[in-house]
Structure 1
Amino acid sequence: MGVLMVSGTSSTTSNNGSTGSSIISALGTGSGIDTNKLADQLTEASKMVQAERLTTKKTLLETQISDFGLLRSSLSKLETAAAALGSADTFNAKALSIPETTLLGITKLDAKAVAGSYQLKVEQVAQAQSLSSGTFSSMTAPIGKGTLTIRLGEWNAAVNDFEVDSTKTGATITIDDTNNSLTGLRDAINKANIGVSASIVSDGGSFKLLLASKSGAKNEIEITAAEDAGALGLASFNFNETTRNLTQLQEGLDAKVRVNGLLVSRESNQIKDVVEGLEFDLFASSLTETVSVTINEDKSIAEQTIRDFVTAYNTFKTEVEKLVGFDTEAKGYGSLHRDPLASSMMKGLRNILSASVPGLSGGFTSLSNLGIRTELDGSLKITESEGNTGFRAAIDNNFALVRDLFVPKTSASVSGIEVTKYSAKSQPGTYDVVITQQPSKGKLTAGAMVATFPLDTTGKDYSFKLKLNDIETATITLPAGKIYTSGAELATELQSLINLDTNLKAVKSTLAVSFDAGKLVFTSDSYGSTSKVEFSTIGADMTDLGISVGAGTTGTNVGGTVNGEVAFGYGNVLLPALNTKAEGLSMTVQPGTTSGSITFSRGFAGTMTTMINDYLKTSGLIKEREANINKDIDNVKDDEETLNRRSEAYRARLMAQFQAMESIVRGLNSTGDFLDGILDRLPFTAKSG
């Protein structure tokens, strides 16, 4: 029995030891596992799904940024094509026909020229008056001190009667120690910039001052010297009704041209306003030759511009469809397929193409009126002819209506209101205008004239200072020893002298002087509450002219409403209230106007370019969308960094766990070494020697 027990015990123990030994043997001295590689694999598996999601999102966002750049480029090309349609010159283009001639040359044909045939006959070319001084031995020797008053007007044929042109200001030239020489006088006249040029010519060792006015009969020169008592000499430059010490070399003449039989005169040989929109230079005159000029409408430019726009839109649609729709080449939807901004933009463009233009009524109000249709695929097609309608008929028979469809248009129901401006904030439509306060100019009406005509200024103190719009003149004096035959002549003289004042010229203020019912009337040329006329000081004899110290009637600003909203008035300019539909429209109102209506349309081109600009401008919708996408990209990058940090932490935890496992394994290995041969050492199981 005992042998059997020992035998059984020995067998069981040996089997347990063999199993433990085999486990430990398999483990070796460590786990045998590449824990670094395992940690990497587990970490990568943990973050793979989130990383792929973030990568996909970032790729889409970066593609959208790129595609918005392509969209902006395509949209910009479309805007350029639309803007060309909004130019009035596109629809007002003209063609010119003229024979070869030596009499004149065409310098400009403007779009606003009126079509028609014009017979031009040049009867006289304009020339400038030329004056020469006496001789001087030196250009630098003193010539005298004081002032030279230069005025412009017209001399009679005998050159003994001068009629001042009150519309021209002239100048007062001061000669003092700084410019007391022929050279100094020349430079001072040229610096005055009044249309009189001065030069010095040498004449065999002596020198002469030459003066030349601008061309024209009423640009001739009058010069009156006021000499300083201790430095006489300037009187040698007098050229006035009393003394003419200069020699006239050439008189001033107007150009004379007959246009379709009507004789017109102009100061210059550069004719700019005889035929509207047509400018030409005169070279010579002829009493026999007539030049035939024909101006025709050139519709081809407008027609081609419309066709170019249709092509530009279809190109735009093809390019953008790949971004916002299904790209057949890439066999997938574009990155902006679900972008709300791109979708809204395309919808807005399609609406403009199909809708009526705001602010237009009657005539052509949409592209369909021109035979421009939208196809099923969204592209545009020009229908050349549909019976008596279609694109060809619109261009040939209703060109004015075609122009009104595309070009911005303003109009007023009464002649006393003129719309002069509009802004990006102005909304198309018709607005009622009611004038509640008339615009007026500052005005002073003198008392009845005491003196009678002819009026002789000899021995009289006709001097004064006047304030115009709160700007005071220097002392102004009527010329001594002059006789005025009528109130109109006196008024012209006063207007010329006042507008000649340097203080007024500096601020570009002018007035008009008239003679009405025996009284002088002084009227500011500006409207509004700052428009004033006042005599601040007067000479002893000014009461002869009915003039006393005091102010006249101050002007008023226009007042009124636009669509019932109180508008802002300044001078004769009326501006609709802010934050109203008519904001940005500006109109001038003539006195006597009581009410009317104004209409504004941006035209098709203006409507489209305004919308496109909302997307393209620096602070526009695309720029804002791109900024938001860039923020989303930055957020994805932040999420990627967060994911990487979490993954690194996860790997660190795995490595800690693996290190703990390795520690356990090493302990097991030590235990295995201890257990090795333990059965041989235990009592009753040890092997005998």
Structure 2
Amino acid sequence: MGISSPGIGSNLDVNGIISKLMAVEAAPVATLDKKSASYLAKVTAFGTVSGALGTFQGALSSLTSLSGFQSLSSNSSDPNILTGSATSKALPGNYKVDISQVAQAQTLASGGYKSISSAIGLGAKTTINIQLGTVSGGSFGMSSLALGAGVVNGGITPGALSLNGTAIATDGSTRSAKLLADAINAKSGTTGVTAKADTTQTSATLFGSGGATTFGAIDTSGGGTYKLSVGGVDIISQATGIASGGAGAVDAAAIDAVLAGNNSVTQALANANITVSGTAADGTLRFSNTDGNNIAVNESTTGAVTGGIGNSGTANTGYSATVTSSVSLVSTNGTQISVGGSNPGAAGLTAGVGGAYLGATFAQDGTRSSGNIVIDSTNNTLQGIRDAINKANFGVTASIVSDGSTGTPNHLVLTSSATGANSNMKITVSGNNGDPADAAIESLLAYDPGGVQNLSQKTAALDTLANVNGIPVTSHSSGISGAVEGVTINAVKTGSATLTVAKDTGSLNSSISGFVKAFNELSGQIKSVSSYNAETKEAGDLLGDSTIQTLQASLRRQLTSSISGLQGSKLTSLSQIGIAFQKDGTLTLDNTKLQKAISTNFNDIAGLFAAVGRSSDADVSFVSSRTATKAGDYRVDITRLATQGTLTSAAAVPASTTIAADTVWTVKLNSSTSSASVTTASVKIPAGTYTPQELSTVLQAAINGASNFTQAGSTVSAAINDDGTLKINSTKYGSTSNLTLTSDTGTAVADIFGGAASVDGVDVAGTIGGYSATGDGQNLTGAPGAPTEGLKLEVKGDTIGARGTLGFSQGYAYQLDTLAKSYLGATGILTGRTKGLNDNVKDIAKQKDAFNAKLVDIEARYRKQYTALDTALSSMNKTASFLTQQFASMNK
């Protein structure tokens, strides 16, 4: 193909002509580009406004709800001892707090096992029932044996006894339980162990038994003398020359006569802290010393004497016996006591680690869930038992701890999930279907603070004990709430500190200042994109835009209007707290005026900013509202109170009720709210004989222990009514609250409740402001279409009819937040405008692409036409040249 170059033959500038023609044809493309750039500039401007509005909305977040106005600070003089927090209900002040004990959880541990995966026992099906509750009475520690005769004569040698690694200072003078207890208590600050000497008491058969005395009448007619002394006090004596039964003779009746009177002997015994019980005449006479001192019983004789203690008619050459006592050790923090020393047996103790509850009783806490765990051949290992306990989730966590020894290092450790004295464990082990429990499992796990304790307590369940401004308080957790209204004190360790509660004006100032700053920044951004600069003669990209104008007007209108519905409030406008508009449309904050408002009307400031509902009835409280809810004062009228699903026994329960072994009931709880897997449970009731109160506690804990109820957040409460009937009710209120008990095995439901039928709960019913409302449990919500739409109230108490007035207001921050939401987000006005502009840009791009395609065709047509012209002109030029040449030749 030949090479062509347009215009060479014709001298016609084809390319130039086409270029100029195409420039004219392409002029609309520039218009489209300019239009697209304008749209994109507006998109950018709207993005700037959206960003500023979003920042402004963020500044409102701490002001839109009441929680943002819990503006009370709490500062501790020593955070290492305690910290605190305060709500709006608290009153400013200083609170002196002395913490003597910090709450802790109970920990129990088993003995050592060689392997965590080896079978324990024979695998017989065994049920473990875990209860949580309170231990009362008695103490935690150990008791010694009575001190031996060697101690009475020679004391306890130095170094013979140590407790928790501290030597107890004993010596040759430590010859009684009282002196031993004193020596132990002298070191209690180091050992954490206190001691109490047990009562010293003479033998019950010292003077006889079975109602008959063995004290023989004294006979000194042979020339002897006789004297009876107890604890160093001379009780009675007989001079020489008196025959048995004669005047002044000593016998059991004579001893009783002395001890029954008010005389120097009984006074001396009282001074020695010795008490008397029983009589010598019937063989029951005993002497006791409650302080633990030894009691020496002596018969002193001279010459020929017959009769006396255990002696009738035979020679009495004297009698001497010293009665000793034992000591009871108490661990002050409920942990095991380590006993050591060179000869702890002298103190009646055995070397090693030990400790258990002594003389205590356990009472189950009905508010804590209880349940059964089955151990059989599939899980009767240390790790299997651990996993079963953890899966059951009955308020106890199980773990396996190795002590590092080579023989049996592995211990099962159980820890209550919660702190407090009401979190003590009781673990009952029972068999199945009448069969006994596996003995090895029972030996491992059976634990009753009031009975057998096969597990060892390593840490005790303790409450936090404190004194707040002179008032003793107790808490199950490290947090103390309720001692001071609106204040929570968090105990860290024992000690004293002062908690200062004050108005947190700094946080409130910061929030309000942030609000003003964010508005001014938003106002500046709006101005920058929508105003005209006369000096530079430049207009903002959104000058005259209706969306921006509407936004600007809405912001100003809401900020300049007064807040209605603030029942009893003295603050209704921003100007009252120092916020006002300036000429340029920005806000200014007068801090002096704000501080005055905080000082004089602190509690009313929340109503200026947040959505607030205030009721004249303390049992009617504001819960929430919607954008459609209108501000105002609304009368509340209740026609029906919410109730709970309840089952009450047909008659009073007896003083004693026995639950048979393997008693299982099917319980349906709030069954209309979810599937049966969540609302139905098979509950095993622990066997035993119970008082009415114990029965209600056992049933409540057993039902609440069902795992599916726990997962669904469903619980029951049980109580004995004043008429002695037993009532169980769902703790949920409303039409979805119900309870049904059905017998499976063992003791029947009818045996407890008779023929009583359960009663379902109902929702609250009434009106708000005279408008209809919908009840859901104790919540009453205004119906759609009314000014009260979405206004949700919680109605408690026991009164129907008029329940006062609720004043509802929507503060500035709440209204502005609602306004911002309408402009932002996926369905917001600014989002819609931006989307429309972007769609326009896309449409222009499509138009431009189509027009560019058309320009290609136009250019091709022009090029074809001018190429043809160029060819024709070139041909003509050649012809003209030829003719010129021919004419020139002809002229020659």
TM-score after normalising by structure 2: 0.63
**1:292 matched to which residue of 2?**
498
Q: Does 1:468 align with 2:669?
A: yes
Contact 2:369 2:395 in 1 (8 A): no
Cα offset, 1:564, TM superposition: 5.1
1:451-477, Cα deviation, whole Å (9 max, x unpaired): 742x16387997644433344442544
Residue type matched to 2:623 in 1?
T
- In structure 2, C-alpha distance between the alignment counterparts of 1:502 and 1:167, rounded to whole Å: 15
What SS class does the counterpart of residue 521 from structure 1 fall into? Answer: strand
**2:553 matched to which residue of 1?**
347
Contact 1:226 1:234 in 2 (8 A): no
1:292-347, Cα deviation, whole Å (9 max, x unpaired): 32211121222233223323332332333121002367431111002221221122
- In structure 1, C-alpha distance between the alignment counterparts of 2:841 and 2:812, rounded to whole Å: 38
- In structure 1, C-alpha distance between the alignment counterparts of 2:517 and 2:686, rounded to whole Å: 70
Contact 2:657 2:695 in 1 (8 A): no
**2:129 matched to which residue of 1?**
149
- In structure 2, C-alpha distance between the alignment counterparts of 1:661 and 1:136, rounded to whole Å: 110
Q: 1:309 to 1:239 in 2, by over 3 A?
A: closer
Contact 1:271 1:282 in 2 (8 A): no
Q: Does 1:310 align with 2:513?
A: no
Contact 2:660 2:747 in 1 (8 A): no
- In structure 1, C-alpha distance between the alignment counterparts of 2:584 and 2:79, rounded to whole Å: 57
Aligned mate of 2:599, from 392, 396, 402: 396
**1:82 matched to which residue of 2?**
60
Contact 1:416 1:593 in 2 (8 A): no
Written as runs of structure 1 = structure 2, the 5 A alignment for 1:186-585 is 186-198=386-398, 199=400, 205-206=407-408, 209-213=412-416, 214-227=418-431, 229=435, 231-236=438-443, 237-240=445-448, 243-246=451-454, 249=457, 251-271=460-480, 274-275=483-484, 276-284=486-494, 291-327=497-533, 330-357=536-563, 359-360=565-566, 362-383=569-590, 390-424=593-627, 426-449=629-652, 452-453=654-655, 455=656, 457=658, 464-470=665-671, 471-474=679-682, 476-477=684-685, 479-480=687-688, 482-484=689-691, 487-502=692-707, 504-516=709-721, 517-537=723-743, 547-548=753-754, 551-563=757-769, 565-578=771-784, 580-585=786-791
Cα offset, 1:572, TM superposition: 2.5
- Tell me, which stretches of 5 or more residues in structure 2 are unaligned? 1-7, 139-358, 672-678
**1:683 matched to which residue of 2?**
none
Cα offset, 1:427, TM superposition: 4.7
Aligned mate of 1:94, from 65, 72, 88: 72
**1:4 matched to which residue of 2?**
none
Cα offset, 1:354, TM superposition: 1.7
Q: 1:223 to 1:39 in 2, by over 3 A?
A: closer
Q: 1:575 to 1:100 in 2, by over 3 A?
A: closer
Q: 1:606 to 1:156 in 2, by over 3 A?
A: same
Q: Does 1:73 align with 2:51?
A: yes
Contact 1:143 1:182 in 2 (8 A): no
Residue type matched to 2:842 in 1?
D
Q: 1:348 to 1:215 in 2, by over 3 A?
A: closer
RMSD: 4.1
Aligned length: 642
- In structure 2, C-alpha distance between the alignment counterparts of 1:646 and 1:138, rounded to whole Å: 87
Residue type matched to 1:279 in 2?
I
Contact 1:148 1:234 in 2 (8 A): no
Cα offset, 1:226, TM superposition: 0.8
Most deviating of 432-441 and 131-140: 131-140
Contact 2:699 2:718 in 1 (8 A): yes
Cα offset, 1:136, TM superposition: 5.8
Cα offset, 1:625, TM superposition: 0.8
Cα offset, 1:673, TM superposition: 9.6
What SS class does the counterpart of residue 439 from structure 2 fall into? Answer: coil
1:506-549, Cα deviation, whole Å (9 max, x unpaired): 43332222222132222221122332233322778658855236
Contact 1:417 1:593 in 2 (8 A): no
- In structure 1, C-alpha distance between the alignment counterparts of 2:374 and 2:388, rounded to whole Å: 8
Contact 1:468 1:524 in 2 (8 A): yes
Contact 1:433 1:561 in 2 (8 A): yes
Aligned mate of 2:833, from 602, 605, 625: 625
**2:93 matched to which residue of 1?**
116
Aligned mate of 1:609, from 817, 842, 845: 817
Residue type matched to 1:604 in 2?
Y
Q: Does 1:170 align with 2:370?
A: yes
Residue type matched to 1:122 in 2?
I
- In structure 2, C-alpha distance between the alignment counterparts of 1:322 and 1:142, rounded to whole Å: 80
Cα offset, 1:431, TM superposition: 4.4
Most deviating of 317-326 and 122-131: 122-131
Cα offset, 1:221, TM superposition: 1.7
Most deviating of 507-516 and 425-434: 425-434
Q: 1:456 to 1:136 in 2, by over 3 A?
A: farther
Contact 2:120 2:441 in 1 (8 A): no
Contact 2:14 2:870 in 1 (8 A): no
Contact 1:273 1:279 in 2 (8 A): no
What SS class does the counterpart of residue 439 from structure 1 fall into? Answer: coil
Residue type matched to 1:262 in 2?
I
Residue type matched to 1:154 in 2?
T
**1:6 matched to which residue of 2?**
none
Once the two structures are aligned, what percentage of the paired residues are identical?
Answer: 27
1:248-277, Cα deviation, whole Å (9 max, x unpaired): 646533222122222221123343554434
**2:83 matched to which residue of 1?**
106
Contact 1:469 1:533 in 2 (8 A): yes
1:195-216, Cα deviation, whole Å (9 max, x unpaired): 4344556588446655444442
Cα offset, 1:372, TM superposition: 2.0
Contact 2:683 2:703 in 1 (8 A): no
- In structure 2, C-alpha distance between the alignment counterparts of 1:269 and 1:512, rounded to whole Å: 26
Cα offset, 1:629, TM superposition: 1.1
Q: 1:113 to 1:205 in 2, by over 3 A?
A: farther
Written as runs of structure 1 = structure 2, the 5 A alignment for 1:654-669 is none
What SS class does the counterpart of residue 35 from structure 2 fall into? Answer: helix
Q: 1:304 to 1:405 in 2, by over 3 A?
A: same
Residue type matched to 1:316 in 2?
L
Contact 2:131 2:425 in 1 (8 A): yes
Contact 1:461 1:542 in 2 (8 A): no
Residue type matched to 1:309 in 2?
F
Q: 1:638 to 1:329 in 2, by over 3 A?
A: farther
1:371-425, Cα deviation, whole Å (9 max, x unpaired): 322122212223456xxxx344323333333332123322334333323233455
Cα offset, 1:167, TM superposition: 0.3
Q: 1:306 to 1:175 in 2, by over 3 A?
A: same
Cα offset, 1:152, TM superposition: 1.0
